[in-house]
Amino acid sequence: MNLFKRNISLQIFLILILFFSACNSNNNQEPKQKKIKVRDYSEIKQLKKLRVVTNLNSTDYFIYRGQPMGFQLELMQFFAKELNVDLEIIAQNNLTRCFNMLENDSCDIIAIGLTITKNRNEKFNFTVPYGLTNQVLVQRKPDNWPELSRKKIESKLIRNQLDLAKKTIYVQQNSAFVTRLKSLSQEIGDTIYIKQKNIETEELIKKVAKKEINYTICDEYIGLVNKTYYPQLDVATKISFPQKLAWAVNKQSDTLLNILNNWLTDFKKTRKFKAIYNKYFKNPKSVNIFNSDYYLQETGQISPYDNYFKKYAKELHWDWKLIASLAYQESHFNNNARSWAGAFGIMQLMPITAERFNVDTNSSPAENIRAGIKYLKYLDKQLSDEITDTTERKKFIIASYNSGLGHVLDARRLAEKFDKNPNIWINNVDFYMAKKSNSKFYLDPVVRYGYCRGSETVNYVTEIFSRYDHYKNIYANKN
């Protein structure tokens, strides 16, 4: 009996050991992370959209006098045109978030001047370089530098990398500058105090200029541009060998990388590339942009008429920035603009429309803007019963502002006749709007208003909403 009990106890003991071993084994296994499926070229083409993240600064991407501009923006616009897809620009000045977005398939390309480091190369694919740069120290000249000789100024500046010992240098978090400073600290055999900040490099340069910090590091081409804005800065001390600048794509986006490399290799040889580069990095007039009242990132102003857009847009319940984008499309904010057809003012009202809303060529910009918004409100009323989606209806209203309500209604009737949705603009009504210059369509029995250069209207709507997206982008990221 005792032997039987011992056997039972032993069996129970062995079962418990096996049970706890299995539990420990399962606990020690790390859960497998589900691999994210990343878009490659075929998906980009299928969805007709290229998503690009870039920095918001005075060279990569910004708004000046209502116009989206920037070196990276223009290059990506050319590449998107080459692919025949729409371009979505995402402004992001946090470098860690940029790389996270690429890993998580929230963007397709990081279009920033990235230096190619060993650690980055292990995680991401980089394009062929589009340029070379050195890392440079950003420091201030003496306060009375305009009165000093060149020799005296030089004596006050750091020119030897050994003199960086015990200095505190602020750099963008997780940037290549951190890696370089750590290596330099080893090379000089002394401590360099590195302070990482979660802000874009140009903001750190501004802090040096304003005496909030003493030193930062940047790429030489960025330093030279910012030196034109802040002549009190010096960027002549190099702290690195020449380094390649490139864009990054996900490791899974092999086809996109190949196509991007082939395009970039060819495009770098063109006059267009040289012109774009010179426009942003060798243009002495860039200081006028930076100091302008309408450099949106700094001032928050799109145009001289923002207050009127804000005031009267409330009558329509629209975002004033969309009104501003429409006004830019119409007149580039020039109240003296006149079209060949007789349209005038900020909102380019036709004489018959202007008369209806009690304005003429002698009316003030404010009156012209208010009349334009009243006309938009009238168009909204004509379409609100059938197009109930307010976001979608805005596209039809803006199309009507350009070509007239009758032509837009014609395009809706054509869409309905050919089994498209008459209440959706993109890939539905816009297709037939563009066809209204084709006799096969403008002579169709459902068409009442005849011929129209409808492709111009389609482009008009696209450009206004694209610019509106840029305005929202800048405002969402404005410091």
CA 205 to CA 216: how far, in whole Å? 7
The Cα-based distances of 301 to 54, 65, 67, 264 in angstroms read 21, 8, 12, 34
Q: How many residues does the chain have?
A: 479
- Do residues 396 and 376 touch, judged by C-beta distance below 8 A? no
CA 96 to CA 397: how far, in whole Å? 40
CB-hemisphere CA count at 13 Å for 444? 20
- Do residues 61 and 89 touch, judged by C-beta distance below 8 A? yes
Render 9-51 in DSSP notation, one character per residue.
HHHHHHHHHHHHHHHHHHHHSPPPPPPPPPP-HHHHHHHTEEE
| Both tokens assigned to 169 | 């240098």
Question: Which phi-psi region, left, alpha or beta, contains residue 80 (left: φ > 0; alpha: ψ -120 to 50)?
Answer: alpha
CA 475 to CA 259: how far, in whole Å? 33
Render 200-239 in DSSP notation, one character per residue.
-HHHHHHHHHTTS-S-EEEEHHHHHHHHHH-TTEEEEEE-
| Radius of gyration (C-alpha) of the chain in whole angstroms | 30
- Do residues 179 and 171 touch, judged by C-beta distance below 8 A? no
Which residues participate in catalysis according to the annotation?
Answer: 330
